[in-house]
Amino acid sequence: MRIIEQARAPNPRRVRIFLAEKGIQVPFQQIDLTQLQHRTEDYRRINPAAQVPVLLLDDGTAISESVAICRYFEELQPEPALFGAGAVGRAQVEMWNRRIEHGVYAHILGCFRHTHKAMAALESPQVPAWGEVCRSRAAEALKPIDRELRDSQFIAGSALTVADITLLVAVDFMKPARIDRPAGLSGLDRWYAEVSARPSAAA
Amino acid sequence: MRIIEQARAPNPRRVRIFLAEKGIQVPFQQIDLTQLQHRTEDYRRINPAAQVPVLLLDDGTAISESVAICRYFEELQPEPALFGAGAVGRAQVEMWNRRIEHGVYAHILGCFRHTHKAMAALESPQVPAWGEVCRSRAAEALKPIDRELRDSQFIAGSALTVADITLLVAVDFMKPARIDRPAGLSGLDRWYAEVSARPSAAA
């Protein structure tokens, strides 16, 4: 078993933090996206979307999509339960993870891809006007997240879940995307300091 | 328990088809998006993203995000297993559902929201250039889906899953988004005829 990734890209970090929280070790193989190693025919056979990371199982099965890889390890080793527990708990983790993915993370990535010069060759065509819409929507979408985090230790309750991991990776990716974190988000700031201090954040 | 939705919107249809495949009946309450009933302060307290559908449980718990609502019902009634079975099976359903969501469905919705006149007031600002990028990416992303469906009865194997439901809703929403289905996608066409003929497709 191994994971093909690029260490600097944000989605592979979601999987690394998840594995660190689970205490699971998996070998990693690096590929270089700037050299377009993810756009070869061989790689597209593994993942038609030409993205990292991909989990390769020993029988050759390839699992792409970060959350699918995380879910595989949740099934293998259920504790700690990073996708929630019980019907309502699991639905709430799914809900928060998706709210953060759609409202925050997708817009941060959209801003980066459509406004950053480093992405000009990889994201073709860039649509800067869309990147600017993404920039303002990402900041706006942090507000209800912040309100939740004023009353709740983690985003989906009293335990860290995959939704916190998505949020941490998203917030940290605001720096390369050059999106300012809005001032006055005291719930988010408190949460960010705590989650960033966990050993898994360095994964 | 009840589901707040608008019958014509695509995401609520994902939940209705899912419930029909499970044989579960839930009361529905309609709201009118054109009258901005999803943008009131009361509704945003239920779902800050101001989207439909929302599942309201009897204790007042609100679950938004279509896939989170589906997952709640999968937990309550595991059979038929629409999120897959076993660690690899569940990971593969998650993978295909996300590939379809990110590659196909999100781009169809993006095209609709950013190019359709009916969305001018709801999607502000519209970015038509982004809508056109979405139009071509949606069509492109159908090709690897089609290749899979030439060898596989359903998108994640021999049984219908939530990933097929996402794909059906996406393909049907190409019509309002005015995206032509590319010719020659024989796997997709065969699959579409079969899945559309199921009673759940009318839900």
Handedness of CA A10, A98, B145, B110 (dihedral sign): negative
Give per-residue pLDDT as tens, A161-203. 999 999 999 999 999 999 999 999 999 999 999 999 999 999 9
From the list A71, A103, A133, the residue facing B91 with the nearest CB is A71
Give per-residue pLDDT as tens, A69-108. 999 999 999 999 999 999 999 999 999 999 999 999 999 9
Give per-residue pLDDT as tens, A33-72. 888 888 888 898 888 888 999 999 999 999 999 999 999 9
Give per-residue pLDDT as tens, B119-172. 998 898 999 999 999 999 999 999 999 999 999 999 999 999 999 999 999 999
- Interface residues of A toward B, Cβ cutoff 8 Å, are 48-49, 55, 57, 61, 63-65, 67-69, 71-72, 75-76, 86-88, 90-92, 94-95, 98-99, 102-103, 125, 127, 129-130, 133, 141, 144, 147
Q: Do B76 and A92 lie within an 8 Å CB cutoff? A: no
What is the pTM (predicted TM-score) of this model? Answer: 0.96
Q: Do B72 and A90 lie within an 8 Å CB cutoff? A: yes
Shortest distance, CA A51 to any CA of chain B (angstroms): 11
Contacts of B86 in chain A (CB under 8 A): 75
**What's the confidence (pLDDT) of residue A39?**
86
Give per-residue pLDDT as tens, B7-43. 999 999 999 999 999 999 999 999 988 888 888 888 8
Q: Cα–Cα distances in Å, from A46 out to A72, B52, B162? A: 17, 35, 22
From the list B65, B67, B90, the residue facing A71 with the nearest CB is B90
User: Helix crossing, B128-151 with A128-151: angle to 10°?
Assistant: 80
The distance of Cα B72 from the centroid of its chain, to the nearest Å, equals 16
Shortest distance, CA A35 to any CA of chain B (angstroms): 22
Structure tokens belonging to residue B85: 């079975």
Q: Using the predicted structure, report yes or no on whether residue A10 has a pLDDT greater than 90.
A: yes
Q: Do B90 and A72 lie within an 8 Å CB cutoff? A: yes
Shortest distance, CA A189 to any CA of chain B (angstroms): 20
> Which among B12, B5, B1 has a CA at the least distance from the CA of B203?
B12
Instruction: Indicate the burial class of B133 (C-beta count within 10 angstroms; 0-12, 13-18, 19 or more).
Output: buried
Is residue A83 within 8 A of residue B75, CB to CB? The reply is: no
Handedness of CA B191, B192, B198, B201 (dihedral sign): positive
The DSSP-derived string for A139-170 is HHHHHHHHHHHHH-SBTTBSS--HHHHHHHHH
Which pairs with CB-CB distance under 8 Å and at least 24 residues apart come from B35-39?
A: none
Q: Using the predicted structure, report yes or no on whether residue B48 has a pLDDT greater than 90.
A: no
Shortest distance, CA A131 to any CA of chain B (angstroms): 9
Type of residue at A12: P
**What's the confidence (pLDDT) of residue A34?**
80
Cis amide prior to B27 (ω within 30 degrees): no
pLDDT over 90 percentage in chain B: 88
**Could you give the CA distance from residue A76 to residue A81 in angstroms, rounded to a whole number?**
11
**What's the confidence (pLDDT) of residue B54?**
97
Helix (H) or strand (E) holding A93: helix A86-99
